[in-house]
Amino acid sequence: MAKNIELTERDIKLLEELAELSMIKVSNVSQIYGNDRYYEIRLLDLKKAHYVRRLKGYVMLGVNGIKYAKEHGLKVRHVPSTYGQKDRIQKISDLYYDFKRSNWTFIDSRKIKEQKKSLDRGSNFLGLLVGRTEYAIYNIGKRPDGKKITLIKKEQEKLHRIGIYRTIVFYEDPQAREMYGTEGIGLKEQLLLPYPYGIELVKKHGERDLVEEAAVKVYGKNLKEPDWKEADYTVDNKQVMVLVMNDVEKIAKIKNYFELAQYRYTRTEEIEILCLEEQEEMFREMFPECSIRTVEEV
């Protein structure tokens, strides 16, 4: 038998966000109720009253929650039945809460598809991050297959048609990063970052330009306009590429530069890479031709 309860302001906020997002991770519910353990007690009451139900660490609307939402004119985004779509919705919800208290606004891809009818309904991007600039967001998970990666890259190549020129691709395992590779596809930025660690890096990047900040921290006032047009700066006749954000487009440009110089037998500029300490080993292996400078954190 359903328990009768009186909905509080925070209960109503939860039902509104569930109607919008379909699913919310239990731990993220604390952002609505506060960081004490009260939210767990309240979720139990709401579950007994059939306002919510739970499934594998996530909360969704129960029968009374759906009824409330519809009675109050809310559009209810129902939980998909297939595993792949359910996993996608969970990732969208997680990203919404990841960036909720940051300088970025995360916009659900479902909203964007409703606004931009030219977008393929089967698009892989999870949403748009809006702030200092705009990024389309992807997550390739832990073990993506080659077909999925190919589809995501082809989709990114077409984003310019709707005015999007930058992307962030999150990965959940180093093997997924290796599978994704370092292919440039003509974007202004293509950041390949670990999830969830990369979230904090992106949050900071929403507050300030981490590329410029890292360069100033290491080189001080010695920064000059680059002699090589693809570089970020020139310092002491070295062409500096700042890779703290692991921008695949920059990585591809360095590779292309050395390959072209080798093909043409031409002299190359000295390229220096500035990266995080934890990235040093990866970039030394990738670019033995380059000198490396590191920064502990940004």
On whether both 60 and 156 belong to a single domain, the answer is no
On whether both 115 and 198 belong to a single domain, the answer is yes
**pLDDT for the residue 190:** 98
On whether both 88 and 196 belong to a single domain, the answer is yes
On whether both 73 and 90 belong to a single domain, the answer is no
Cβ-Cβ contacts under 8 Å for 142 (sequence gap 6 or more): 171, 172, 173, 175, 176
Q: How many CB atoms lie within 10 A of CB 106?
A: 22
Asked if residue 283 is part of any domain, the answer here is yes
**pLDDT for the residue 294:** 97
User: Token pair of 60, please?
Assistant: 């969704």
Q: Is the pLDDT of residue 93 over 90?
A: yes
Q: How high does pLDDT run on average in the chain?
A: 93
- Give the burial class of 148: count Cβ atoms within 10 A of its Cβ; 0-12 exposed, 13-18 middle, 19 or more buried: middle
pLDDT class for 263, splitting at 50, 70, 90? low
On whether both 94 and 184 belong to a single domain, the answer is yes
User: Token pair of 158, please?
Assistant: 């077409």
Domain end marker among 146, 174, 207: 207
Domain end marker among 207, 226, 260: 207
The strand order across the sheet containing 189-194 reads: 105-108, 127-130, 134-139, 166-171, 189-194
On whether both 98 and 165 belong to a single domain, the answer is yes
Q: What is the DSSP letter of 34?
A: -
**pLDDT for the residue 267:** 61
Contact between 273 and 247 (Cβ < 8 Å): no
On whether both 100 and 185 belong to a single domain, the answer is yes
**pLDDT for the residue 4:** 79
Asked if residue 260 is part of any domain, the answer here is yes
pLDDT digits (tens, 9 = 90+) for 41-90: 999 999 999 999 999 999 999 999 999 999 999 999 999 888 889 999 99
Per DSSP, the residues of 51-103 read: SEEEETTEEEE-HHHHHHHHHTTPPP-PPPSSHHHHHHHHHHHHHHHHTTTSS
Asked if residue 1 is part of any domain, the answer here is no
pLDDT digits (tens, 9 = 90+) for 208-218: 999 999 999 99
On whether both 14 and 129 belong to a single domain, the answer is no
Domain residues for the domain of 216 are: 210-295
Q: What is the DSSP letter of 36?
A: S
On whether both 97 and 184 belong to a single domain, the answer is yes
Domain end marker among 172, 188, 207: 207
**pLDDT for the residue 170:** 98
How far is the C-alpha of 239 from the C-alpha of 100, rounded, in Å?
37
Asked if residue 244 is part of any domain, the answer here is yes
* Number of domain units in the chain: 3
